[in-house]
């Protein structure tokens, strides 16, 4: 599935951020880990948002939890409410940009804090997925040992796990269970 040019990376960022908190771990539990996480996504925010600061960690954790709630929404209406709250909270305002030659829309504030930029761009990415493909593309891993979220990009909307690792682990466990019965 192709997302629009604007949403591909922001959607990947939203998923990656929501998945930084595991069942027993936190991949951005301290400021240094958070700074390392954002370095991976530097091409997205460099020149648009101010670099992250160590003091941003509590606000990033709060945003992460709010993004996760979008994936866990029971229906489209609730997902839309949650995304709209994010869009409003983080100042997602459309503007026309020509920085790459062809005019296109951006929705994040310019020269703002990392957290405001992050909230606006990830919420807009998720909003675009809902509009273009539906909320049924959002998922939470069916594995009993994982709570990661994902965007289902399969043709038939059949994805049930966040990764091949979880899918294989569940298939092996089911096979072993059948063999002992």
Name the token pair of 132: 């273009």
For residue 36, the model assigns a pLDDT of: 95
The answer to whether residue 67 is domain-embedded is: yes
DSSP H helices, 26-163, are 31-40, 42-45, 57-71, 76-89, 114-133
Between CA 173 and CA 170 the distance in angstroms is 5
Does a structural domain hold residue 163? no
Q: What is the CATH number of the domain that holds 102?
A: 1.10.3300.10
- The pLDDT assigned to 31 comes to 95
The confidence band for 136, taking pLDDT boundaries of 50, 70 and 90, is very high
CB-facing half-sphere around the CA of 171: CA atoms within 13 A: 8
Q: With a cut of 80, say whether residue 176 has pLDDT above it.
A: no
Q: Is the pTM of this model over 0.85?
A: yes
What's the domain count of the chain? 1
pLDDT digits (tens, 9 = 90+) for 31-79: 999 999 999 999 888 888 889 999 999 999 999 999 999 999 999 999 9
- How far CA 83 is from CA of 6, 55, 66, 71, 109, in Å, comes to 17, 25, 9, 10, 17
Q: Which domain holds residue 77?
A: 8-134
Higher-pLDDT residue of 117, 172: 117
146 part of a folded domain: no
Mean pLDDT of 95-124: 83
Evaluate whether residue 143 is within a structural domain.
no
> Does residue 107 lie within any of the structural domains?
yes
Contacts from 106-111 at CB under 8 Å and sequence distance 24+? 106/6, 107/6, 108/48, 108/49, 110/48, 111/48, 111/49, 111/50
Q: How confident is the model at residue 150 (pLDDT cuts 50, 70, 90)?
A: very high
């Amino acid at each position: 599935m192709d997302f629009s040019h604007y949403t591909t990376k922001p959607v990947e960022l939203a998923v990656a951020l929501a998945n930084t908190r595991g069942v027993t771990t936190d991949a951005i539990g301290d400021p240094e880990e958070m700074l390392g996480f954002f370095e991976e996504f530097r091409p997205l925010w460099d020149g648009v948002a101010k670099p992250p600061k160590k003091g941003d960690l509590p606000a990033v954790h709060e945003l992460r939890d709010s993004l996760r709630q979008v994936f866990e929404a029971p229906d489209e209406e609730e997902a839309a409410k949650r995304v709209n709250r994010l869009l409003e909270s983080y100042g997602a305002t459309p503007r026309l940009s020509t920085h790459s030659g062809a005019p296109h829309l951006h929705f994040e504030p310019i020269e703002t804090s990392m957290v405001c930029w992050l909230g606006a761009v990830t919420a807009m990415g998720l909003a675009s997925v809902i509009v273009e493909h539906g909320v049924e593309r959002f998922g939470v891993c069916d594995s009993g040992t994982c709570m990661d979220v994902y965007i289902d990009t399969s043709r038939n909307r059949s994805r049930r796990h966040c990764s091949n690792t979880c899918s294989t682990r569940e298939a092996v466990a089911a096979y072993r269970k059948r063999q002992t019965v």
